[in-house]
Structure 1
Amino acid sequence: MTKVIAFNGSPRKKGNTSILIGYIFEVLEGEGIETELIQVGGKKVRGCTACMKCFENKDGHCVFDDDIINHCIDRIVEADGIILGSPVYFLDVTTEMKGLIDRAGFVSMANGGLYQRKAGMAVAAVRRSGGSRTLDTMLHFLLATGMVVPAFPVLGVGREIGDVHKDEEGVGRARDAGKNIAWLLKMMGTAGKS
């Protein structure tokens, strides 16, 4: 079965980032696509040290195996579509999301482009500013690893948990993203496979 996995970089498990991802998931599930949310925010995540061991080992993993990142890499490899979600923290992604991007990105490059031709999407929850930069950080990862981004990324505005529900444009973009991811997966021939 076709599967899209989202990585929530927010330490708030049920915060605005997760809510936006949920709107995308509703559309995907309505199209018969399996979804899964992996919580990265709030977990212990090491940053990349540029040790280059992934280029030596070429085993599809980061040499550091004391956090969630290798599990995330395995899930990215097996998925047909990837969603990266982060709230804006000091005008960019959270530390946990940056750790995932850097380490998973190096591992992909070290192993011949593990994530090429998967559907990708970026989602950011913002209170005031930094949304574009946050989306840009995640989009760079998706594009640099050879993923296909089928729509404008999702940006939702809200301060308190649940405020993003009131952002009609943000919710609309999330739903459109779901439709476009489903369309792309069908065009790629992955949707509907068991």
Structure 2
Amino acid sequence: MKVLLINGSPRKNGNTFLALQEAARTLEEQGIDSEVVWIGNKPVRGCIACATCKTKGNGMCVFDDDVCNKVIGKMNESDALIVGSPVYYGVPTGQVIALVQRMLFAGADVKCKPAAAVAVCRRGGATSAFQTLQMPFQMVNMPIVTSQYWNIVYGREQGQASLDTEGMQTMRTLARNMAWMLKNIHSGNAELPQYEPWQPMHFIRED
């Protein structure tokens, strides 16, 4: 079993990495493999809603000039997902939002794979960023793994996150809960849920 951890910070070894690394260490202690993937500090395209990923049917984004398809490939080989981001102006980084939206829309293999979000900030805005990161999981049948508190870690300068004792403990608890869920999923005999065909609608009446 393997968990993919996405570091959505433009700073490779910053506080977001420290938070994810704490979770990864605990996963290893629980017998779960993990990989932290840094999305880099180069631009990540936003989705342009061309739907070519759907018509081509290969589960990849038609634009292959950034990290998106690499991450999709890693997600397809993983059993769970943790996405971490620093908080900029009360929201996650633009790069990580663009990545997650394209990854999930293009058709990455995520159905019934547990997921969690982690927000790292200096002071405020973490809860709104945390909620934003979690929203996509609820649209693609990914069970959300919780912890003892919202998955928030505080720190500004590099390395300060390690001083947030409660935040680091929250990461460890999150990882233990993730490991527990994965072990239960893989030890059980229950088949995956059977879903009805999607029936999209809007609130515009044309009659």
TM-score, structure 1 normalization? 0.91
The 2-side partners of 1:144 and 1:41 are apart by: 26
The 1-side partners of 2:22 and 2:163 are apart by: 13
Q: Decide whether the 8 Å contact of 1:8 with 1:17 is kept in 2.
A: yes
Amino acid aligned to 2:170:
R
Cα shift readout 1:33-64 (whole Å, capped 9, x = no counterpart): 11111111413311111111112112100111
Q: Decide whether the 8 Å contact of 1:41 with 1:97 is kept in 2.
A: no
Aligned residues: 186
The 2-side partners of 1:163 and 1:126 are apart by: 11
* 1:178 pairs with 2:175: yes
* 1:146 pairs with 2:141: yes
Gaps of 5+ in 2: 188-207
Amino acid aligned to 2:125:
G
* 1:116 pairs with 2:115: no
The alignment yields a C-alpha RMSD, in angstroms, of 1.6
The 1-side partners of 2:13 and 2:19 are apart by: 10
Aligned to 1:30: 29
Q: Decide whether the 8 Å contact of 1:41 with 1:94 is kept in 2.
A: no
Deviation above 3 Å: which 4+ runs of structure 1?
Answer: none
Amino acid aligned to 1:127:
R
* 1:55 pairs with 2:44: no
> Considering only CA atoms, is the larger Rg found in Structure 1 or Structure 2?
2
Q: Decide whether the 8 Å contact of 1:87 with 1:94 is kept in 2.
A: yes
TM-score, structure 2 normalization? 0.85
Correspondences of 1:26-105 after superposition (within 5 Å): 26-105=25-104
Aligned to 2:164: 167
Q: Decide whether the 8 Å contact of 1:150 with 1:177 is kept in 2.
A: yes
SS in structure 2 at match of 1:100:
helix
Q: C-alpha displacement at 1:92, in angstroms? A: 0.6
The 2-side partners of 1:41 and 1:8 are apart by: 8
Q: C-alpha displacement at 1:18, in angstroms? A: 0.5
Gaps of 5+ in 1: none
The 2-side partners of 1:119 and 1:105 are apart by: 14
SS in structure 2 at match of 1:93:
coil
